[in-house]
Amino acid sequence: MKFKVRDIVDSIDENDLYKMQADLSKGGLFLKKIVDDKLKSMQNEKKGFCSTCGQSLDEKYKTYTLLFGPEDFKKKASFCELDCLEYFLAGLKKINENIKHNDLKHGDNNGI
Ligand SMILES: [Zn+2]
């Protein structure tokens, strides 16, 4: 279950709230660091595997990520190298061409 910031603040004890208040009044550097660290670790967790060759991307410093698909159903694919990204794109292109081709072939049946 995910909590909203308001829920989190409600569950923090008074002493820690005073500490947070003091930190925020000084620019919130401590809180910023906690949030930065958490976001960084979430991004690293999401790296996963190369969509083409299956290599783990966790250790890779530089990876490539592709967001594609309709607005309400975006898909994400990550790659270890440009070669893997190109190979994936070529496959995607082929699938799209087949879909178009099939639409044309069956177009007569549902013509308006
Ligand atoms: Zn790869």
Q: Could you state, in order of their start, the residue ranges of all structural domains in the chain?
A: 1-45, 48-112
Q: Separation of 52 CA from ligand 1 center, angstroms?
A: 5
Q: Separation of 77 CA from ligand 1 center, angstroms?
A: 11
pLDDT at 92 exceeding the cut of 70: yes
In contact, 89 and 64? CB cutoff 8 Å: no
The pTM (predicted TM-score) of the whole model is 0.51
The lowest-confidence range among 2-6, 32-36, 61-65 is 2-6
In contact, 77 and 98? CB cutoff 8 Å: no
Q: Separation of 41 CA from ligand 1 center, angstroms?
A: 22
Distance CA 22, CA 24 (A): 6
Mean local confidence (pLDDT), 89-101:
86
Q: What pLDDT was estimated at residue 44?
A: 66
Mean local confidence (pLDDT), 69-77:
84
In contact, 80 and 57? CB cutoff 8 Å: yes
List Cβ neighbours of 77 (8 Å cut-off, separation of 6 or more). Answer: 51, 65, 66, 68, 88
DSSP state, 61? S
Mean local confidence (pLDDT), 83-88:
96
Q: What is the mean pLDDT of the chain?
A: 86
Q: What pLDDT was estimated at residue 1?
A: 66
Ligand 1 ion: residues within 5 Å (CB): 50, 52-53, 55, 80, 84
pLDDT at 24 exceeding the cut of 90: yes
